[in-house]
Structure 1
Amino acid sequence: MLPEQKSPKQPISVLVVLHDADHNILLLERADRANFWQSVTGSLEQGETPFQAALREVAEETGFVLQNHQLHDCETQVVYEIYPHWRHRYAAGVTHNTEHWFRAQIATGSVPKLTEHTAWQWLPRVQAAELVFSPSNRDAILALP
């Protein structure tokens, strides 16, 4: 029996900025890249809407189960070039991704249960924006109202 092949990732993703009432930002360190800090991110699964993906990714990456009313659609999408070292996850020839931005306010000092990351930290908004590796993540943090 042949091993089951994973389907390529869809080039449509979500970015979810988790913040507290004082606009401190929860950042996660990628397991596959040391010192790559980011907000919650992930690609859509087959048949999933960006809103559904955002709820799922927050639960998977942090253990926080958000209610629909807690998740705010920022109504912003950005298209960016996929880093070459991650293109193998997508179908041949795919070089760009469309990212949908969301945000959610959670309790100050909430402690995530990490499953896909190696570390977490709460930082003030400007400091968090300076630390994230993704320009779109930086822009999403700075765009918080």
Structure 2
Amino acid sequence: MIRNSIEAWIFAPRERQILLLQVEEDGLSFWQPITGGIEKGERAAAACQREILEETGLEMARSELQPLGHYTVEIDKNLSIHKSLFLARPQKKDILISDEHTDFQWIDLAQVPSQLYWPSNQETFQMMMEKNEKRRF
């Protein structure tokens, strides 16, 4: 089975910081970017806008989202998650997290890899950095 999802890296250009959200589930606490499923009939960019709004309270225009490509995570022999990746540059940093998160932090780019628990998040962060290396964000 393949599940389609989004992963969004929220970037504050002036401060050169990334937003990470804290999740606590099954006795495990970890930091991650915005993630969420794509609903039936929904386009990836629309799912990204919806998930960002649901998880942070930030309203993002489509023009504020930069597609980064795709990444697939093999969970087990019966499940793969196909992620559509985005970089978002919001106009403000005022965050109102959802009930599915316990905290949030704006963190300097250089510190992000050490905060990420999941290898897939570490790899997609690296992809995002490489795609934006020439632009210097």
Residue 105 (structure 2) pairs with residue 113 (structure 1): no
- SS of the residue corresponding to residue 39 of structure 2 reads coil
Residue 122 (structure 2) pairs with residue 141 (structure 1): no
- SS of the residue corresponding to residue 40 of structure 2 reads coil
Q: Any unmatched runs of 5+ in structure 1?
A: 1-8, 85-92
Please identify, of 119-128 and 93-102, the stretch whose mean Cα deviation from structure 2 is larger.
Answer: 93-102
In the alignment of these two chains, the number of paired residues is 126
Contact 2:2-2:80 within 8 A present in 1 as well: no
Cα RMSD over matched residues? 2.0
Structure number, greater radius of gyration: 1
Contact 2:2-2:82 within 8 A present in 1 as well: no
Moved over 4 A (4+): none
Counterpart of 1:102, as a letter, is: F
> Which of 27, 34, 52 lines up with 2:46 in the alignment?
52
Residue 95 of structure 1 corresponds to which residue in structure 2? 79
Change in 2 beyond 3 A, CA 1:29/1:12: same
Residue 30 of structure 1 corresponds to which residue in structure 2? 23
Q: Please identify which structure carries the higher strand content.
A: 2
Counterpart of 2:64, as a letter, is: Q
Identity percentage of aligned residues: 27
Residue 6 of structure 2 corresponds to which residue in structure 1? 14
Q: Any unmatched runs of 5+ in structure 2?
A: 133-137
Contact 1:10-1:44 within 8 A present in 2 as well: no
- SS of the residue corresponding to residue 102 of structure 2 reads strand
Residue 125 of structure 1 corresponds to which residue in structure 2? 109
Contact 2:6-2:83 within 8 A present in 1 as well: yes
> Which of 61, 73, 79 lines up with 1:80 in the alignment?
73
State the alpha-carbon separation in 1 of the partners of residues 11 and 120 from structure 2. 16
Residue 64 of structure 2 corresponds to which residue in structure 1? 70
Q: TM-score, with normalisation over the residues of structure 1?
A: 0.78
